C-alpha cells in the first residue's frame, strides 16, 4: 500500500521507529483523554442532563434549568464550588476582565507572577493603550514577577507576599505568544502553597486558557480560587460559543 502511494520503505520504517519511540507519550495522552472524557460523562450523568434542558426560556431567564445544570457540570468537572458559564462572555479576555474587575477595587494590588500577561490582557490592565477604563486607570496597582527557567521565582514571590498589601496574584498557565513552556499543575500547586502559607487571604487567579484537561487536576483543585475556562476552538466551531469562570468557593467575592 505504501509502495503504491509512492512512499519509500525508508520513510515507512523511520515513521514506524519514531512512533514506537513515542509510544509511551501517546499512551499518556490517550489515558488522560479517556479519564477526562469519563469525568465529563459522569458530570452529565450525575446532573441528569435531558432534552428539556435544551429548551429556550424567555423573559428574565430565572429558573433556566439548562443554564443552571451547565454551570453545575462545569463546577463538578473542575472541582469548583461554582461556575459562571455564559454565551454573553464574548472571549477569554472578557472572562479574565470580568474576574479582575469583579475582584479588585481602587487601591488594591495585583501581581502577575508568570511574567508579562497575555497580549490582550495588557490593555485590560492598562500596560498598553490609552483606555480610560483599564484596571490601572481605575486605581489598581500592578506589579510583575518574571519566571526563571520556566518556573516561578519562589523566593521573590514569598518575599513580596510577606511585605503585604497583595490582593490578587495572577498566573498564566499556558505560554500565549511567548516562547516559554506551559506551567505544570505541580508548579502551580507549589507556588500557591508558598503564597497561602504566608497569607491565606491572597486570591490566586489562574488564566487556564488551553490548560483544561491537559493534566488530571485543574487549578481549582490545587487551591487556586478562580480560574477562567476557555472553551477551545473545536467546541467553538460546533456552535458552542460559551466561556466561563470557575470558582473554588461558592461566593464569587
Ligand atoms: C494564555 C491566554 N490567555 C488569554 C487568551 C485570550 O483569549 P481570547 O482570544 O478568547 O480573548 C488567550 C488566547 O489565546 C491565551 O492564549
| pTM across the whole model | 0.88
Atom of ligand 1 nearest to the CA of 177: 16
Pocket test for ligand 1, best of 89, 90, 91, 92 (most atoms within 8 A of CB): 92
Question: pLDDT value at position 46?
Answer: 97
Nearest Cα residue to atom 16 of ligand 1: 176
Nearest Cα residue to atom 7 of ligand 1: 92
31-50: pLDDT as tens digits: 999 999 999 999 999 999 99
pLDDT classification of 124: cutoffs 50, 70, 90: very high
Mean pLDDT of 203-217: 89
Atom of ligand 1 nearest to the CA of 243: 10
Report the C-alpha gap between 166 and 164 in whole angstroms.
6
pLDDT classification of 27: cutoffs 50, 70, 90: very high
Kind and range of the H or E run holding 234: helix 233-237
Atom of ligand 1 nearest to the CA of 173: 1
Residue by residue, DSSP assigns 101-152 as HHH--TT-EEEESSSSPPHHHHHHHTSSS--TTSTTTTT-EEEE---BTTB-
160-171: pLDDT as tens digits: 999 999 999 999
Amino acid at each position: 500500500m505504501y509502495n503504491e502511494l509512492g512512499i519509500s520503505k525508508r520513510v515507512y520504517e523511520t515513521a514506524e521507529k519514531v512512533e514506537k519511540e513515542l509510544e509511551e507519550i501517546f499512551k499518556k495522552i490517550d489515558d488522560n483523554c479517556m479519564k477526562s472524557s469519563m469525568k465529563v460523562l459522569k458530570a452529565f450523568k450525575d446532573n441528569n442532563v435531558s432534552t428539556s434542558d435544551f429548551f429556550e426560556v424567555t423573559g428574565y431567564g430565572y429558573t433556566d434549568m439548562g443554564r443552571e445544570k451547565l454551570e453545575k457540570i462545569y463546577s463538578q468537572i473542575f472541582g469548583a464550588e461554582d461556575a459562571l458559564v455564559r454565551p454573553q462572555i464574548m472571549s477569554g479576555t472578557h472572562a479574565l476582565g470580568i474576574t479582575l474587575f469583579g475582584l479588585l477595587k481602587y487601591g488594591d494590588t495585583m501581581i502577575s507572577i508568570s511574567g508579562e500577561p497575555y497580549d490582550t490582557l495588557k490593555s485590560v490592565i492598562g500596560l498598553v493603550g490609552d483606555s480610560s477604563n483599564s484596571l490601572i486607570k481605575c486605581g489598581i496597582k500592578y506589579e510583575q514577577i518574571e519566571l526563571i527557567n520556566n518556573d516561578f521565582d519562589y523566593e521573590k514571590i514569598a518575599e513580596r507576599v510577606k511585605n503585604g498589601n497583595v490582593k490578587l496574584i495572577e498566573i498564566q498557565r499556558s505560554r500565549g505568544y511567548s516562547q516559554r513552556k506551559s506551567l505544570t499543575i505541580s508548579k502551580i500547586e507549589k507556588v500557591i502553597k508558598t503564597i497561602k502559607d504566608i497569607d491565606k487571604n491572597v486570591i490566586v487567579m489562574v488564566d487556564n486558557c488551553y490548560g483544561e484537561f491537559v493534566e488530571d487536576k485543574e487549578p481549582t483543585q490545587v487551591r487556586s480560587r478562580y480560574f477562567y475556562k476557555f472553551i477551545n476552538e473545536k467546541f467553538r466551531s460546533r456552535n458552542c460559543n460559551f466561556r466561563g469562570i470557575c470558582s473554588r468557593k461558592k461566593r464569587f467575592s
